[in-house]
Amino acid sequence: MNGLKVNLHITETCNYRCRHCFAHFDKRTDLPLKSWLAIIDNFKSSKIVSAINFAGGEPVFYRGFNELLRYAKESSFEVSLISNGSLLLDEKFFPAENFIYLSTLGISVDSLNENILLKLGRCDAKHNVLSENKLCELINTAKRINPSIKIKFNTVISQLNLHEHLTQIEQKIHIDRWKFLKVKAFDDNNFSNLDILVTDDEFSYFINRNKRSEGPAILEKSTARSYIVIDNQGNLLDNYNEQYEIVGNLLHESFAEVFSRYQFDRELYESRYIQTASEDRSF
Ligand code: SF4
């Protein structure tokens, strides 16, 4: 198989407040750009990483994101981005030329209904949401600038969007890959989403109502030890049992050394990329 894909959660900053957000790593200050450039060099030296996915938070809020994106591409990595999409048509945050650097643009799409988006917290402080029209405009723009870009959607199923027929959007735009996840429970003093959890039967109900017209529905059951996540301090995290424990820091050790201590579930990792024979493994 090709080299590994790593997921860099470069910032926790986000303009949305999603009720299912798990991007909380407890260290708020982002690393400076030179540190991330060094980490990208670290991946390159390891010779076992071939793809970098930028995630967050909302990655475009990272200062220096455009330079980081370009550097990753120029370092010969396959580059992808997972974003809430809200600022990707805003030149201040994301110059349009950036689409050229991406092999895959991933967008989190949990609803096409503005009221539901507001209830989900998928809105900025002024209650602006990514409407269906804006979403289509974003995808059409990305494809116009980079015709070979792949489009991936991630959808989290909760009580709030359970009855939606999201896949009807495929009548308007082509989506290369679509991943569906069950909302994960969070409950602490400041934050609880226990009221929007869904059962396995409800999850199946959503999937059955949302048959895709153009491709398979990818059902993400577990990412435990099969998702290579680096937090915004440059730590490789072990997400076993839904806990995040630091394996090592990529500013202080080589990626190969840190990764050798990670009890990586290669079988589960690889299964994510071969659920269908026709899928492009680069996602
Ligand atoms: S858009 Fe993503 S990072 Fe931002 S709050 Fe929602 S899930 Fe979290």
The CB-based long-range contact list for 273-276 (8 Å cut-off, 24+ gap) reads 273/1, 275/216, 275/218, 276/215, 276/216
Q: What is the mean pLDDT of residues 130-159?
A: 98
Take residue 12 and report the two structure tokens written for it: 């926790």
Ligand 1, atom 8, lies closest to the CA of: 21
β-pair partners for 181? 156, 220
Say if strands 150-157 and 104-108 run parallel, antiparallel, or are unpaired: parallel
Q: What is the pLDDT of residues 54-99, one digit of tens each?
A: 999 999 999 999 999 999 999 999 999 999 999 999 999 999 999 9
* Helix and strand totals (H; E) in the chain: 7, 10
Q: Is the pLDDT of residue 192 over 90?
A: no
Q: For the CA atoms of 245, 250, 251, 254, what is the dihedral angle to 10 degrees?
A: 130
What is residue 97's three-state secondary structure? helix
**Integer angstrom CA distances of residue 178 from 150, 213, 279:** 11, 11, 11
Q: Identify which of 18, 117, 123, 229 to mutate to test ligand 1's pocket (most ligand atoms within 8 A of the CB).
A: 18
Query: What confidence category does residue 275 fall into, taking pLDDT thresholds of 50, 70 and 90?
Result: low
Instruction: Give every CB contact of residue 117 below 8 A, 6+ residues apart in sequence.
Output: 110, 111, 123, 129, 130
Q: What is the mean pLDDT of residues 175-181?
A: 96
User: What's the CA-to-centroid distance between 86 and ligand 1, angstroms?
Assistant: 11
Q: State phi, psi for 177 to the nearest 5 degrees.
A: -150, 140
The C-alpha atoms of residue 239 and residue 65 are separated, in whole angstroms, by 25
What is residue 151's three-state secondary structure? strand
Ligand 1, atom 7, lies closest to the CA of: 21
Take residue 88 and report the two structure tokens written for it: 């990707």
Q: Quickly list H helices, the chain.
A: 33-46, 65-74, 114-120, 132-145, 200-209, 255-260, 266-273
pLDDT for 186 = 84
User: What's the CA-to-centroid distance between 24 and ligand 1, angstroms?
Assistant: 10
Place of tokens 């390159």: 44
Residue 184 carries which side chain, given as an amino acid letter?
K
pTM: 0.93
The C-alpha atoms of residue 157 and residue 12 are separated, in whole angstroms, by 22
Take residue 36 and report the two structure tokens written for it: 């991330």
Q: Is the pLDDT of residue 281 over 60?
A: no
Closest CA to 8 of 17, 25, 18: 25
Closest CA to 228 of 248, 206, 198: 248
Q: What is the pLDDT of residues 22-36, one digit of tens each?
A: 765 555 799 999 999
Instruction: Give every CB contact of residue 128 below 8 A, 6+ residues apart in sequence.
Output: 86
pLDDT for 274 = 58
Domains of the chain, first to last = 4-107+126-154+221-273 (3.20.20.70)
Residues within 6 Å of ligand 1 by CB: 14, 16-18, 21, 23, 56-58, 84, 108
The C-alpha atoms of residue 82 and residue 107 are separated, in whole angstroms, by 6
Q: Identify which of 20, 28, 58, 116 to mutate to test ligand 1's pocket (most ligand atoms within 8 A of the CB).
A: 58
